[in-house]
Amino acid sequence: MKFLGSKLLATAAVILTVSTGVSNAETLRLLTWGSYAPDEVIKLFEAEYPDITVEPTFSNNEEMIAKLRATGGSGFDLAQPGFNRVTAAQEEFDIYKPIDLSRINVDALRPDFLEKVKQVASVDGVVYSVPHMWGTSGLVVDKSQAPEINDWLDICDAKYEGKTSMRLKRSILVGSAFAMGYNPYEAYADLDEYKKILDEVGEKLIACKSVIKTYWTGGDDLSNLMLSGEVIASDTWDSTAFKLHRENANLVYVPPKSGTLGWIDTFTLPKKGEADDAAYKWINFLLRPDIIPLISASTGSVVATKNGIDLLPGDMKTIVAEAFTEEDLANIKFAAQILPGVEDIEGQVLERIKAASN
């Protein structure tokens, strides 16, 4: 009986240990972009923090807001919306909690990007986000065919009839507005002024239809057009242009002289997240020099740290460094907060362009 009693006590101790381990375990529920949480990085994180399991859900800006709005900010512990999508969603739906900058290695971040995010993604002085990834939209140009193209509306020049392309989305509207001498981001706060600017842009892009060969809808679509030589210039994301450059050295990313359009994706805490400690550990993990190359290899974009470009893997460092001068970086037009009514105006103009005859 004494032996049996000892055996029962030992068994009970094992059960207690296992149950305690389970109760201490955390699940970090990410709401992020498709390439921002690669399996390799998750495995490295979980090996370093065996009490945390990472569970990613891949999404986009609109879906992130919709999911968090539907749940009142619950169901996820860390989200990664664009920095210009945070404030309006927070003011209208109250779906985020303040972020504690003292728990993040902010010294690793580019000060200009950090300040930009703090400026745009704050409500009443309370900061809700810090930067993670950044990139730009500009032009991809076959320099052997059109070396003089260097601004948004150059792809509408009649001498390139049937040889250029564009994507009918916000970026071409905003980029064209900058090329025409306007600052569309400043006009967001005055919808009448923004509509006036975009009506003029719309007329320009309707006239451009006689030049454009086709409108592309996805990265693969554009890649096929450029690599086949059907198209020699288009607006695009920088990451797509960098990939094309690897296939054909004549295809280069050109930051428009009126300014590239910049985006920054953030780390933001949903209001009812239940794993803040794990979230802060994940943020700091992704900002480490040994992890940054893995993230950039997955996303094709640059981490918003001071040495983000230097830590790009393989030939990415050379390609990106060659694409941007310091003047180009200083001339990035980072997106403004999307205010109510802005997208409605843009949608109407885009539909008008689509419907117009050549």
Do residue 267 and residue 257 come from a single domain? no
At residue 25, the pLDDT reads: 80
Residue 17 lies in a domain: no
Total domains present in the chain = 2
> With 50 as the cut, is the pLDDT of residue 326 above it?
yes
Do residue 230 and residue 346 come from a single domain? yes
Do residue 227 and residue 294 come from a single domain? no
Place of tokens 């679509």: 221
Do residue 143 and residue 287 come from a single domain? no
Do residue 289 and residue 252 come from a single domain? no
Do residue 37 and residue 106 come from a single domain? yes
Q: What is the pLDDT confidence band of residue 60, given thresholds at 50, 70 and 90?
A: very high
**What is the tens place of the pLDDT at every residue in 249-295?**
999 999 999 999 999 999 999 999 999 999 999 999 999 999 999 99
Q: What is the pLDDT confidence band of residue 24, given thresholds at 50, 70 and 90?
A: low
> With 90 as the cut, is the pLDDT of residue 35 above it?
yes
Residues ≥6 apart with Cβ < 8 Å to 252: 140, 141, 143, 241, 245, 323
At residue 2, the pLDDT reads: 41
User: pTM of this prediction?
Assistant: 0.85
Do residue 159 and residue 209 come from a single domain? yes
At residue 19, the pLDDT reads: 42
Residue 2 lies in a domain: no
CA–CA separation, 166 and 294 (whole Å): 31
At residue 16, the pLDDT reads: 43
**What is the tens place of the pLDDT at every residue in 151-198?**
999 999 999 999 999 999 999 999 999 999 999 999 999 999 999 999
- Give the pairing of strands 26-32 and 78-79: parallel
Residue 8 lies in a domain: no
Q: What is the pLDDT confidence band of residue 338, given thresholds at 50, 70 and 90?
A: confident
Question: For the chain, what is the radius of gyration of the CA atoms?
Answer: 24
CATH number at residue 33: 3.40.190.10
For residue 38, what are the domain limits? Answer: 22-134+263-317
At residue 125, the pLDDT reads: 95
Do residue 54 and residue 119 come from a single domain? yes
Residues 37-42: contacts with CB within 8 Å, 24+ apart?
38/294, 38/295, 38/298, 40/294, 41/286, 41/291, 41/294, 41/295, 41/298
Mean pLDDT of the chain: 92
CA–CA separation, 64 and 212 (whole Å): 34
Q: What is the pLDDT confidence band of residue 305, given thresholds at 50, 70 and 90?
A: very high
Which amino acid does the sequence have at 330? A
At residue 94, the pLDDT reads: 97
Do residue 192 and residue 229 come from a single domain? yes
Do residue 233 and residue 345 come from a single domain? yes
At residue 339, the pLDDT reads: 87
Residue 125 lies in a domain: yes
| Structure letter (DSSP) for residue 46 | H
Report the share of the chain in percent with pLDDT over 70. 93
Residue 63 lies in a domain: yes
Residue 4 lies in a domain: no
> With 60 as the cut, is the pLDDT of residue 314 above it?
yes
**What is the tens place of the pLDDT at every residue in 188-231?**
999 999 999 999 999 999 999 999 999 999 889 999 999 999 99
Do residue 172 and residue 102 come from a single domain? no
**What is the tens place of the pLDDT at every residue in 94-146?**
999 999 999 999 999 999 999 999 999 999 999 999 999 999 999 999 999 99
Residue 148 lies in a domain: yes
Q: What is the pLDDT confidence band of residue 20, given thresholds at 50, 70 and 90?
A: very low
Residue 233 lies in a domain: yes
Residues ≥6 apart with Cβ < 8 Å to 124: none
Do residue 121 and residue 161 come from a single domain? no
